[in-house]
């Protein structure tokens, strides 16, 4: 646990007692703060009692009397579509608002670091798609290389819940736009931007606000090195803003197409990762046979992770060895089983059109299980990626409406996961892939995309029984 620095003797309010809120309370208490809390949920009293904090309704006038700071959980809106009443009240009463990410960066370094031969470093990863895989892959490569490391943030443990880093240790953080948008301190040593596609637009007031939240990690943080995916205009814009000229190797550009010039580039083309620096190629890796990284989108993730690890001094061949032993993450192009020559792949994390399109591009002859709570924008942008789909099996409460948008695709409305898996398995031929890539949120039928993926895996297990 990382005790929060500079809060001893102060009263600090915490809004939300979920995972990050609970960790913030404990870290603040360890730093000597008196903590009061508020949570809208039905378990608020029990959670507060477990933590030994008093509940205070932070929406009422005068709630922030004597309070030095409000710490809010990432899932609570602070601006769009409307600020939470407790946050609006903090503004009105002049109470500064921060989150656990801000507390982490202001509290990480301590006096003991003066005794280290190598100060710990922080690698922070953000972007729309691939940030979990990229973060986990960086952590895996470091672990394979024998470098002490921890993984936290939007994946794994909460940022304040990790152990204080040791000499030369690397902290790898996955950070969502919800986390970067509000943090008052953002000072990673290496910052990684994977890509940008429309998502969470209601929370950020549109695409500009969404990109601005991601960009804060670079603009506010001033990392020593920036790894930037440049396949979208926003990435190219940001790389241009960060670099002082074409040969500035503090910025490493990453792409799924060939890059040329004087700078530092890592790109994947036709399944091969290439590193170029100062106009010459310095490394190449064949990604095609790596089972844990199927498809172009995972090749992009590999490029970003490779680039980040190169900034930390790891050799190309050591990184290549680690790539081959990466098993992938659950619910992200995860091979569940192969039955009768048919592969069953769980990509329940493909909750938007762009991530589903990338999943579809990774396989040939697909029996596609899709559907759920549709996001803004419709499915039109997904249709060009459906050329490899033999048939779609649509789930979700609005399955019929979802299916109507899949023009040119043979569709069967199944509604439930069990029916979809059974029908796909019944019709699949050897060499085909039954792929769960919903292109939709899960909340119409499941508590999370993880629960949806677990249901898919359970239904596949029934086929083997």
CATH number for the domain harbouring residue 114: 3.40.1190.10
Residue 214 and residue 136 share a domain: yes
Q: How does the average pLDDT of the chain come out, rounded?
A: 94
Pick out the residues of the known binding site for ATP: 127-133
User: In the prediction, which pLDDT does 464 show?
Assistant: 85
With a cut of 70, list the residues of the chain below it in pLDDT: 465
Residue 186 and residue 258 share a domain: yes
Residue 299 and residue 158 share a domain: yes
Query: Does any domain span residue 5?
Result: no
User: In the prediction, which pLDDT does 417 show?
Assistant: 98
CATH number for the domain harbouring residue 62: 3.40.50.720
Query: Does any domain span residue 70?
Result: yes
CA pair distance 84, 422, nearest whole angstrom: 44
Query: Does any domain span residue 176?
Result: yes
Among residues 274, 297, 324, which one ends one of the domains? 324
Residue 169 and residue 317 share a domain: yes
Query: For residue 23, which phi and psi values (nearest 5 degrees)?
Result: -65, -40
Query: Does any domain span residue 371?
Result: yes
In what helix (H) or strand (E) does residue 396 lie, and over which residues does it extend?
Answer: none
Among residues 62, 77, 98, which one ends one of the domains? 98
Residue 48 and residue 18 share a domain: yes
The two structure tokens encoding residue 118:
């190598």
Query: Does any domain span residue 4?
Result: no
Kindly tell me the burial class for residue 61, based on how many C-beta atoms sit within 10 Å of its own C-beta (0-12, 13-18, 19 or more).
Answer: exposed
Query: Does any domain span residue 299?
Result: yes
Among residues 98, 122, 150, which one ends one of the domains? 98
CA pair distance 311, 304, nearest whole angstrom: 11
Residue 127 and residue 45 share a domain: no
User: In the prediction, which pLDDT does 328 show?
Assistant: 84
Query: Does any domain span residue 47?
Result: yes
Residue 138 and residue 35 share a domain: no
Pick out the residues of the known binding site: 127-133
In what helix (H) or strand (E) does residue 15 lie, and over which residues does it extend?
Answer: strand 11-15
CATH number for the domain harbouring residue 455: 3.90.190.20
Which one, of 320, 323, 322, 348, lies nearest residue 333 by Cα?
A: 348
pTM equals 0.87
Which one, of 280, 244, 275, lies nearest residue 262 by Cα?
A: 280
Please give the residue range of the domain that contains residue 447.
Answer: 334-464
Residue 364 half-sphere exposure, CB side, CA atoms within 13 Å?
2
User: In the prediction, which pLDDT does 412 show?
Assistant: 98
Residue 298 and residue 182 share a domain: yes
Residue 67 and residue 31 share a domain: yes
Residue 170 and residue 110 share a domain: yes
Query: Does any domain span residue 401?
Result: yes
Residue 228 and residue 260 share a domain: yes
Q: What's the structural domain count of the chain?
A: 3
CB 190 within 8 Å of CB 308: yes
Residue 187 and residue 316 share a domain: yes
* Per-residue pLDDT tens over the stretch 19-67: 899 999 999 999 999 999 999 888 888 999 999 999 999 999 999 999 9
User: In the prediction, which pLDDT does 110 show?
Assistant: 83
User: In the prediction, which pLDDT does 289 show?
Assistant: 85
Residues β-bridged to residue 366: 389, 433
User: In the prediction, which pLDDT does 19 show?
Assistant: 87
User: In the prediction, which pLDDT does 210 show?
Assistant: 94
């Amino acid at each position: 646990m990382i005790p929060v620095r500079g809060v001893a003797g102060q009263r600090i309010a915490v809004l939300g007692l979920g995972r990050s809120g609970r960790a913030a309370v404990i870290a603040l208490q360890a730093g000597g703060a008196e903590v009061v809390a508020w949570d809208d949920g039905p378990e608020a009293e029990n959670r507060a009692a477990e933590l030994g904090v008093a509940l205070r309704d932070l929406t009422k006038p005068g709630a922030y009397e004597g309070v030095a700071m409000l710490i809010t959980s990432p899932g609570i809106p602070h601006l769009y579509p409307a600020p939470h009443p407790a946050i609006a009240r903090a503004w009105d009463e002049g109470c500064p608002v921060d989150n656990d990410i801000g507390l982490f960066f202001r509290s990480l370094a301590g006096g003991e670091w003066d005794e280290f031969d190598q100060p710990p470093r922080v690698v922070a990863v953000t972007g729309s798609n691939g940030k979990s895989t990229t973060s986990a892959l960086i952590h895996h490569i470091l672990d394979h290389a024998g470098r002490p490391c921890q993984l936290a943030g939007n994946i794994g443990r909460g940022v304040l819940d990790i152990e204080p880093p040791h000499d030369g240790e690397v902290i790898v953080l996955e950070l969502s736009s919800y986390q970067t948008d509000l943090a008052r301190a953002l000072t990673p040593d290496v910052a990684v931007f994977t890509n940008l596609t429309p998502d969470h637009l209601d929370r950020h007031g549109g695409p500009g606000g969404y990109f601005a939240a991601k960009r804060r990690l670079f603009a506010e943080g001033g990392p020593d090195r920036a790894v930037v995916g440049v396949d979208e205009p926003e990435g190219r814009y940001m790389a241009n803003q960060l670099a002082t000229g074409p040969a500035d190797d503090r910025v490493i550009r990453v792409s799924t197409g060939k890059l040329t010039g004087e700078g530092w580039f890592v790109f994947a083309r036709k399944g091969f990762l290439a590193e170029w620096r100062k106009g010459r190629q310095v490394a190449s890796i064949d990604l095609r046979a790596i089972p844990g990284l199927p498809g172009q989108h995972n090749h992009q993730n590999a490029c970003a992770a490779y680039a980040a690890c190169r900034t930390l001094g790891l050799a190309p061949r050591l990184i290549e060895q680690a790539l081959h032993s990466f098993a992938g993450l659950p619910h992200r192009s995860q091979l569940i089983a192969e039955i009768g020559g048919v592969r069953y792949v769980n990509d329940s994390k493909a909750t938007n059109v762009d991530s589903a399109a990338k999943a579809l591009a990774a396989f040939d002859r697909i029996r596609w299980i899709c559907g759920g709570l549709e996001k803004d924008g419709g499915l039109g942008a997904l249709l060009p990626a459906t050329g490899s789909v033999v048939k779609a099996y649509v789930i979700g409460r609005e399955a019929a409406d979802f299916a109507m948008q899949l023009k040119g695709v043979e569709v069967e409305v199944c509604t439930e996961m069990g029916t979809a898996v059974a029908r796909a398995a019944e019709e699949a031929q050897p060499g085909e892939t039954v792929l769960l890539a919903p292109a939709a949120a899960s909340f119409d039928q499941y508590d999370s995309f993880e629960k949806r993926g677990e249901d898919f895996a359970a239904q596949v297990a029934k086929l083997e029984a």
